[in-house]
Chain A
Amino acid sequence: MSQTILTVDDSRTMRDMLRMALAGAGFNVVEAVDGEHGLQVLGAHTPDVIITDINMPRLDGFGFIQRVREDRDHRATPILVLTTESDPSKKDRARAAGATGWIVKPFNPDKLAEAIRRVAA
């Protein structure tokens, strides 16, 4: 059975890009538009990997990661954050919140699939 990836990003363009790349690599994709929505989606899905943006309305990426790590059902789910540049302070903050790894935007489908492989059991 193919693995399911949850993408959390407020940008439709980015969600579409992720979907195209992930679906092309054979993953199932579920989407959320911000952190709060992401938590709701986690109520109904158990993704193998979560990919999340940082800057989002309502609940940003840091807060989202933290809440997932507090959630008994999902705290062991790998979370990859999307960062725009290889940005040390943002990356550190995301890791402190519990991010498993990161993907530097703009990504290509191969890099994306590789990052997932590096965290997915």
Chain B
Amino acid sequence: MDELDAIRITFFQECDELLADLESGLLAQQRGAGDAETVNAVFRAVHSIKGGAGVFGFDGLVRFAHLFEAVLEGLRSEKLEPTPDLVSLLLGAHDELIDHVTAARTGRVQDLRRLSGVSVRLAEIVDRLKVAALDASPEAATAPERDDFDFDFTPLAASLEPLPAPPLTAPAPPAPLGWTIAFRPLAELYRKANEPAVLLRELARLGEARAVLDLSDLPSLQALDPEDGYLAWTIDVAGDIEKAQVAEVFEFVEGDCDLVISPMGQAAPAAAAPEPQFASEPQAELPIAPPPVKIAPPPLLTLVEPEPAPPPHVEPEPPRAVQSESAQPESPPAEAPVQTPPPQSVIRVDPERVDRLVDLVGELVISQVMLAQKVQEAGLPPSSGLVAGLEELEQLTREIQDGVMAIRAQQVRAVFQRMPRLVREVAALTGKQARLVTDGEATEVDRTVIERLAEPLTHMIRNAIDHGLETPEERAALGKSPEGVIRLSAQHRGARIVIEVSDDGRGIDRRRVLSTAVARGLVAADAQLDDEAIDNLIFLPGFSTASAVSDISGRGVGMDVVRRSVQALGGRIAIASVPGRGATITLSLPLTLAVLDGMQVEVCGQTLVAPLAAIVESVRPRPEDVRRIGSGAVLAVRDSFIPLVDVGVVLGFRDRPINPADGIVLLVETDDGGRVALVADEIHGQRQVVIKSLESNYGQVAGISAATIMGDGRIALIIDIDAVISMRNRPAPAPLLAAE
């Protein structure tokens, strides 16, 4: 990878972090919890994005960030009040800045609205600020402002071009002879660590130079102030040189020296009236030591001393009184108390390298399992050193695996931080008022899960605002705060992460849900369903209570799509609702998509793996526990009857179910809390398996979520339990594998 490409990646990573900082700062401001440092941090975030964008020539991003920054600068310098309206505009600007960053990242600049409402409003504020600044100091039009109101907006777009440093004078007609420069450094020049010898060296680069040192001002040693400047030079530089080139050499010392540049041959004496552009009145000299004056001639330069005089003896003695504060025209803002923790030391690694490592560790786990199996087959006694060593290897493998997975773990913050914007947008579109409260952003989960979390969460939050929350008027009439609250939380529960989206809206209208489900033929008209079952009807394919598909939660997808994408992650979804109080949707997901704790079972000679998380218990049923009901069968377990599902039949391994009493039964829990008994032929114990995608390596198979490689090197399929259960009532698919 090219170094610049790597920096580009860094830039966008940094943008993401800065955008998150920006948003949390603005949200703090909105809550009224902001202080001066919050505003500074917010300003810096936009400023840094602009700076980096300039490096890469993202002009649209630079332009927008510049406007945004200008308004924040107004806030920082207290020319603007952080009114709720302004803060909400700034949040909108944050959202739009994300779009600009995304456009820069993807190169799809054409997707951006050319002149958005936000940038127009920002520009208006900037114009007002500028007018106010002019009113406040009429001379500001000509003199640089002394405060920090440091932006310049006319013309708006042109001011953003990467301007070269403006030339100090209009280029003079070329002077064939060259230039004579009278140069007398002031103490201030030394104080800023400028160095006459360097300037002379730079002049000598332009053409043949001849410098004459003037020591006439050098006082006696007793009177000499080592902090002051006493030396002056007259330099002739010969050649076809523009005056601007000469002036550029002195760009950094402008105002800190007496300087006269005149065409060679008509040299004015050094004491002549200085040219207005270059010389300024000698400034108050500060009692600060200059760096030791070096007068060693650079190679190209001929130093001609009018009379042999000893070089000024500069004592490297400590300065007498260094009190620069008193001499400062302005002192910088008082140092903020150091509260910010020192930056964490973080290694940045290309995610692909970590992914590769995860894959390799997966292979390691498989090899280790295969080795263990070979040793077992060899019939070595458990007391042998080999078995003990193997156990140690297994332990280490596990630890390496955990360690690698921890590297790839990410905080759900990465997804959660996209949601405040969504809430604002959806609330604005639906005319609702909503506030997002998040909790547990630091909960970690594997990157592979994070990436696929955004879509279901987005949809759930859209739904909660669009369908869950009442309008502000309705809420006020109900005695609720007009602003609805959407809560988004994450926490670990065992080997899973549980994410909840809840609202304090109207809850699910069960009558309407039931009548819709009946009208669409999803449930029988006379079905007796409890409240929970009715609530969960919204996850059925084809269900939508919105009479007209709204632009917000519509888009042709319903909660069934959310459920499918959650299930594809090996997750479960459930809803709980209290009428008038709101609804909570709970997602439960595995922490990783790389490994799975599974139960190895055998069906028709095929090895299958059932995810352990779904299994409640396994039982070997007695014949009298199996009851036939119609075409199916149930299993009596303690006081309840649980439907029996023959895995071999559902997957098409065999045509007729085996007698459950001849096999083994796995009691599994479904998403809606129901139980089903899966019938398999034999059970071979628990093991951790490495998940290999079937979809990307072969294709999607009904009833199967993925595959894995077993200790003997053979492939085993991982059962998608919910899919198997939902398939049980349908005709068996074509045989998946030839039954033996």
Contacts and interface: CB of A to CB of B under 8 A. Distances in A.
Nearest to B13: A12
Contact of A100 (B147, B149, B192): B192
A70 interface: yes
B193 A11 contact: no
B330 to A, nearest CB: 6
Nearest to A88: B144
B52 A14 contact: yes
Interface in A31-49: 33, 36-37
Interface stretch (B39-47, B88-96, B397-405, B413-421): B39-47
Interface in B42-66: 43-44, 47-48, 50-52, 54-55, 57
B14 interface: yes
Contacts of B672: none
Q: Is the interface of B mostly helix, strand, loop or mixed?
A: loop
Interface string B170-194: 0000000000000000000001111
B33 interface: no
Interface of A: 10-14, 16-17, 20, 33, 36-37, 55-60, 62-63, 66, 69-70, 72, 75-79, 84-90, 92-93, 95-102, 104-106, 117-121
A85 B150 CA distance: 10
Contact of A95 (B4, B51, B192, B292): B192
Contact of B294 (A75, A99, A121): A121
28 contacts: A12-B10, A13-B55, A14-B51, A33-B343, A57-B40, A57-B44, A60-B332, A70-B324, A75-B288, A75-B289, A84-B47, A84-B51, A85-B159, A85-B163, A86-B166, A89-B149, A97-B328, A98-B193, A100-B252, A101-B251, A104-B162, A104-B163, A105-B51, A105-B55, A118-B202, A118-B252, A119-B194, A120-B198
- 5 interchain residue pairs of minimum CB distance: A76-B291, A62-B332, A101-B252, A88-B144, A13-B52
Interface of B: 3-4, 6-7, 10-11, 13-14, 40-41, 43-44, 47-48, 50-52, 54-55, 57, 144-150, 152, 159, 162-166, 191-195, 197-198, 202, 249, 251-252, 255, 288-292, 294, 318-319, 322, 324-325, 328-333, 335-336, 338, 340, 342-343
A89 to B, nearest CB: 5
Contacts of A72: 318-319
Contacts of A89: 144-150
A76 B294 CA distance: 13
B717 to A, nearest CB: 45
A23 B340 CA distance: 30
B48 A10 contact: yes
A119 B343 contact: no
Contacts of B319: 72
Contact of A98 (B10, B192, B289, B294): B192
Contacts, number: 154
A100 B251 CA distance: 10
Contacts of B193: 75-79, 98, 100, 119
Given A12-B14, A37-B343, 5 more contacts: A13-B51, A60-B332, A89-B150, A98-B192, A118-B198
Given A70-B322, A118-B198, A121-B294, A10 B44 contact: yes
A58 B336 contact: yes
A66 B44 contact: no
B126 to A, nearest CB: 14
A117 B197 CA distance: 12
Nearest to B163: A86
B55 A63 contact: no
A117 B249 CA distance: 11
A81 B57 CA distance: 21
Contacts of B166: 86
